[in-house]
Amino acid sequence: MVKKKLLASIKPVNTIYVRKAMVSGQGLSRGRLHFGNRHIPCVLGRSGIVTGKKEGDGATPRGEYEILGCFYRQDRIGRPVTRLAMSRIQKDDGWCDQPDHGQYNRQVKLPFAGRHERLWRDDRLYDTVLILDY
């Protein structure tokens, strides 16, 4: 019941902005995710935010995209309070990043023969993952 009241009290946010953060010497392109009155750190592709993204360019696409859902590490952050579809990241979860594979840009279970990234990581990079309609 408390969860329903909490969800009912959430004011929908229709726009999320991502801006590159000026951070040097960390080997990753860092950003800030702005939504409503909240600001949280995020990781961008190594090439920053670009228009005309191509697979393998290391960039985060510039544009307006619907957020389809979220993956999260229950053991690290708990379930975020949101109206988004949520899925816990499991130790055998991966994400296919091989453009010519039938599972490209989709969650996969490991072991997986195609090129992929492991979602369960020690470095906290993917503790929360937003899935966009890009």
SS3 for 21-35, per residue? Answer: CCCCCCCCEEEEEEE
Q: Give the tokens for residue 44.
A: 């961008």
The model's pTM is 0.77
Local confidence band at 72 (pLDDT 50, 70, 90 cut-offs): very high
At a CB cut-off of 8 Å and minimum separation 6, what does 85 contact?
68, 69, 70
Local confidence band at 4 (pLDDT 50, 70, 90 cut-offs): low
Round the average pLDDT of the chain to a whole number and report it.
85
Helix (H, G, I), strand (E, B) or coil at 60: strand
Q: What is the pLDDT of residues 78-104, one digit of tens each?
A: 888 888 889 999 999 999 999 899 999
List the 67-72 sheet strands across, edge first.
86-88, 67-72, 128-132
